[in-house]
Structure 1
């Protein structure tokens, strides 16, 4: 037994006259039993009769040539994507960008080198301090994770380490 989906394909092939004998028998059996596909087959038969009943119209002389010329004149999407065409059209834009980059490159100067020792001095703690602030714990390698967590949760950053209860 055919499914309705299979029957739809066979109905279209029957309308085109391309249905084989075995498929025709299976389709006829399906259409006798299926109330959903029967109207579809009838509609398809009406369309076939209407199209075959129409008289054939004569095509004017030269129609095929004119149509071919018009189709050749149309720009296809493949022609629009042709990189050679875009290369030629974008060459002036590329040249303008190169000139702008060259003009800008002359005005840009390199930054002065940075003395890392001087940066370290400005960030380092004053060596004359007798007591380090609590935040100094963050830079000490020997501080345990528990001490670090306790300092983060409880200490005032401005208190000295000894006053906060931490050993230097």
Structure 2
């Protein structure tokens, strides 16, 4: 296996980031992997302006994973204050999923949130319809908190819902 390089995203990475995230979450290409949201949402997962906003915000970063100069994965990390970090937009190229790259990105995200933001715990949000993904996060030590978050219906920047029961469950893990 070729060596993996994980580094912070820079503005020049935005086109590759956008393409990767869309391919991992939306449309037919996403069905090559197991993390697709194509049955839940149409439309976009993010856009270049959103990614530029993330990169410009000191409380957020995108970690990117590169193999021989090709972007193969990424994850958003954020400081939520009071020792809490958050990660989202975990994306792995659909044809490379189920090979441990997502697990490596989560571990890198947790380590970076602890080092950069002083995070002692990490929170994530997941669609409850994604039972397989929830089970994967549980195997990584995350547990449902009982909290839920509303899905932003009416805002096409987050996608076009295919159903009317979308929301997120919040999961959390303490960092050792």
TM-score by length of 2: 0.20
Larger RCO (alpha carbons 8 Å, 6+ apart)? 2
Greater percentage in strand: 2
Q: Which one has the largest radius of gyration?
A: 1
Comparing both structures, which one devotes a greater share of its residues to helix?
1
